[in-house]
């Protein structure tokens, strides 16, 4: 279920939109929490910086290949299963999320490949 769907189901969509226009951080965080969404998403919604999950440094817009990772239970059968969002520099995720048999592939997320 998308954030908008969650907010709509909770009857919070109009208030959320108002808070977004007013950039009312406290109200946004309260409503995000109310619909089981990570309050850190407020930074995304307000167009502010992200913090890398791995190194803790700011992810600025010039990190074009920064990643957004959403986690949820694999075998959950509920539509509105809680999720957790994390943000990471590509290089940090590549290093720290190395799999036993696979690795994160930069070319999958490179904006350069989208051109043409």
Binding site for Zn ion (CB under 5 A): 52, 54-55, 89, 92
**Nearest to Zn ion of 15, 86 (CB atom):** 86
Give the nearest distance from C-beta 107 to Zn ion in angstroms: 19
What is the DSSP annotation of 31-44? HHHHTT--TTHHHH
* Shortest distance in whole angstroms from residue 25 CB to Zn ion: 24
Closest to 94 (Cα-Cα) out of 69, 57, 72, 62:
69
Which lies closer to Zn ion via its Cβ, residue 16 or residue 90? 90
For residues 36 and 82, is the Cβ–Cβ distance under 8 A?
yes
Least distance from Zn ion to the Cβ atom of residue 98, Å: 15
Question: With contact defined as beta carbons under 8 Å apart, do 80 and 1 qualify?
Answer: yes
Closer residue to Zn ion in complex, CB, 8/109: 109
């Amino acid at each position: 279920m998308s954030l908008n769907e969650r907010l709509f189901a909770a009857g919070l969509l109009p208030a959320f939109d108002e808070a977004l226009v007013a950039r009312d951080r406290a109200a946004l965080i309260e409503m995000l929490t109310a619909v089981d969404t990570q309050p850190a998403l407020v930074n995304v919604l307000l167009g502010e910086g992200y913090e890398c999950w791995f190194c803790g440094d700011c992810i600025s817009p010039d990190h074009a290949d920064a990643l957004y990772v959403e986690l949820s239970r694999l075998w959950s059968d509920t539509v509105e299963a809680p999720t957790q969002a994390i943000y990471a520099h590509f290089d940090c995720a590549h290093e720290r999320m190395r799999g036993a048999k696979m690795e994160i592939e930069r070319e999958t997320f490179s904006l350069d490949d989208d051109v043409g």
